[in-house]
Amino acid sequence: MNLYEKLADDIEKLIRQGVYGHGERLPSVRQTSQQHRLSVTTVIRAYLLLESRGLLTARPQSGYFVNFRGDGGERKTLELRPSKPIPISSPVDVSRLVLSTLRSIGVDDAVPLGSPYPDPGLFPFERINRYAYDAGRGKTRWGVTDALPPGNAALVRQIARRYLENGMAVDPNEIIITVGATEAINLCLQAVAKPGDVIAVESPTFYAMLHAIERMGMKAIEVSTHPEHGIDIEALAAIVKSQTITACMVMPNFQNPLGFLMPDERKRELVEFLTKWDIPVIENGVYNELHYDSTHPSTLKSFDTKGLVLHCGSFSKTLTAAYRIGWALPGRYRDQVEKLKFLNTLTSPSIPQMAIAEFLERDGYEHHLRRVRRAYAQQANLMKATVSRFFPEGTRMSNPAGGYVLWIELPPKVDAMRLYNLALDQGITIGPGYMFSVSETTYRNFIRLNYSSPWSSEIEQAVITVGKLVAMCAK
């Protein structure tokens, strides 16, 4: 076999496995030449051969793009259905399950398919650490006052610039730096509601939202959520008309665990509806930068005219989880959130703020993000293809538009907690669906898988093993 034929066969295998998805651009001829240590002519012949096989399309001045839809209309996995939970206000108690699940991630080097955290391998931790070292060494007289709310001025300025680069002008004076997005969410919820109040959430919803509600003695009411369009505004309207809803908490972009991107028109409609009822909405935007296509998503905040959207963000999912730096844009509740920040934790650490501000200013944040997005998009295709092939009939899964998690509905007989324990015995963690609802039964046969780790034979075998365990539990 000639070198160009071998290269073409290797790339075709990756395409059929889902590493490169339909419409995705392949690395340039020069990049592939350098990566594989082959001549440019050899790479061009390989690409032309793949084009003749109908797997690639050449676009002048742009490169080669994948022309292959891997499902062929024969995928065993079905389209995920919208959730339809019973809308009952409930006390929240999921923290113990979540804590035990998170603890299991590091047990005996378990394969972290159940982790909520991104794999740190793509993060520029050493470069940020150097900035932190320089900041600590170069400033001999810094103290608590340097980090008092709203936070480090240079970091606030860089965050405001980042929003402007992504198409939304924000007032830097509105930004408050927090200890990760978790603190931002907690502070915003505390600013708009009190113990006993009812908070509307998506179903399923990210458990950090439920933790905030639980911590403050409030009640959650779950609203049916479409796996592609987001929270059902009509269902929310019916709930609002029947009982008092104090606030709403949503994740409109690449929601964890569903991964959807809420359409702009639905975002606008949601903000207009909540504005009509004067209901504040806490927007969790921690995954906003992890989009798979070329366009940065809009936010609920961009449609807000009355200051009712309390927008929360973080660098933990895109840059470094170690420093726990987040922020809030609390709208009309800005002064309350700043006061609560001071009363709760006084400050956010100074040196991490300075280090991240330096990185954002000097070190190519957008270039770093493009690399992370490409990796996650490819790994999403691989995870979906592997689940489709090795999980039993009746499996349904989400179609993430960003982020790094996949939500899977298993056959009805499968209990996610039993599956969780069986997988842990095999050295694999998964995220059982129980964690994403206040109900013990709504998502009993659902799991969430993390695909942020670089794809490897170990990861692939772990997913295959989980598929076999699902088949066994489904009998």
CATH number at residue 284: 3.40.640.10
The pLDDT of residue 272: 98
> Quick check: is 55 in a domain?
yes
The pLDDT of residue 73: 39
> Quick check: is 255 in a domain?
yes
Model confidence at 63, pLDDT cuts 50, 70, 90, reads confident
The pLDDT of residue 75: 45
| Claim to verify: residue 265 and residue 410 sit in the same structural domain | no
List, as own/partner pairs, every contact residues 454-461 make where C-beta atoms lie below 8 angstroms and the sequence separation is at least 24, other chains included: 454/119, 454/121, 454/375, 454/379, 455/19, 455/378, 455/379, 455/382, 458/111, 459/111, 459/113, 460/382, 460/386
| Claim to verify: residue 212 and residue 300 sit in the same structural domain | yes
For the chain, what is the mean pLDDT?
89
| Claim to verify: residue 457 and residue 320 sit in the same structural domain | no
3-class secondary-structure state, position 440: coil
Greatest mean pLDDT range, 79-93, 100-114, 328-342, 383-397: 328-342
> Quick check: is 458 in a domain?
yes
The pLDDT of residue 317: 95
Domain range spanning residue 247? Answer: 124-365
Q: Rounded to the nearest 10 degrees, what angle do helices 416-425 and 457-473 cross at? A: 130
Domains held by the chain: number = 3
* pLDDT surpassing 70 at residue 90: no
Name the percent of the chain lying above pLDDT 90.
65
| Claim to verify: residue 242 and residue 310 sit in the same structural domain | yes
* pLDDT surpassing 50 at residue 1: yes
End-of-domain residue from the set 326, 343, 365: 365
| Claim to verify: residue 131 and residue 267 sit in the same structural domain | yes
Residues near 275 by beta carbon (within 8 Å), at least 6 away in sequence: 304, 305, 306, 308
End-of-domain residue from the set 330, 349, 365: 365
Lowest mean pLDDT, pick from 71-75, 193-197, 465-469: 71-75
> Quick check: is 188 in a domain?
yes
Model confidence at 99, pLDDT cuts 50, 70, 90, reads confident
Taking a C-beta distance cutoff of 8 angstroms, is the pair 352, 266 a contact?
Answer: no
The pLDDT of residue 321: 87
- C-alpha distances (whole Å) from 466 to each of 153, 384, 398 are 47, 13, 17
| Claim to verify: residue 146 and residue 35 sit in the same structural domain | no
The pLDDT of residue 74: 41
- C-alpha distances (whole Å) from 132 to each of 325, 348, 352, 472 are 13, 14, 6, 50
Greatest mean pLDDT range, 9-23, 116-130, 330-344: 330-344
Chain centroid to CA 19: how far? 19
Name the percent of the chain lying above pLDDT 70.
91
Model confidence at 140, pLDDT cuts 50, 70, 90, reads very low
Q: Where are the alpha helices (DSSP H) in 68-152?
A: 95-105, 125-138
| Claim to verify: residue 196 and residue 259 sit in the same structural domain | yes
> Quick check: is 326 in a domain?
yes
> Quick check: is 13 in a domain?
yes
> Measured between alpha carbons, how far is 13 from 68 in angstroms, rounded to an integer?
12
Stretch 25-42: mean pLDDT: 90
> Quick check: is 73 in a domain?
no
Chain centroid to CA 165: how far? 21
Model confidence at 168, pLDDT cuts 50, 70, 90, reads very high
> Measured between alpha carbons, how far is 285 from 173 in angstroms, rounded to an integer?
19
> Measured between alpha carbons, how far is 281 from 301 in angstroms, rounded to an integer?
10
Element housing 11 (H / E): helix 3-17
| Claim to verify: residue 151 and residue 129 sit in the same structural domain | yes
Stretch 307-322: mean pLDDT: 95
Higher pLDDT pick, 466 / 40: 466
| Claim to verify: residue 114 and residue 132 sit in the same structural domain | no
| Claim to verify: residue 351 and residue 387 sit in the same structural domain | no
Stretch 205-229: mean pLDDT: 91
| Claim to verify: residue 148 and residue 265 sit in the same structural domain | yes
- Output the CA torsion sign for 192, 195, 197, 202: positive
Dump pLDDT digits (tens) for 267-312: 999 999 999 999 999 999 999 999 998 899 999 999 999 999 999 9
| Claim to verify: residue 350 and residue 396 sit in the same structural domain | no
End-of-domain residue from the set 365, 390, 410: 365
What are phi and psi for residue 129, nearest 5 degrees? -60, -35
* pLDDT surpassing 50 at residue 362: yes
> Environment class of residue 346 by beta-carbon count within 10 Å: exposed (0-12), middle (13-18) or buried (19+)?
exposed
Lowest mean pLDDT, pick from 1-15, 188-202, 214-228: 1-15
> Quick check: is 71 in a domain?
no
Residues near 48 by beta carbon (within 8 Å), at least 6 away in sequence: none
Stretch 46-73: mean pLDDT: 78
CATH of the domain at 427: 3.90.1150.10
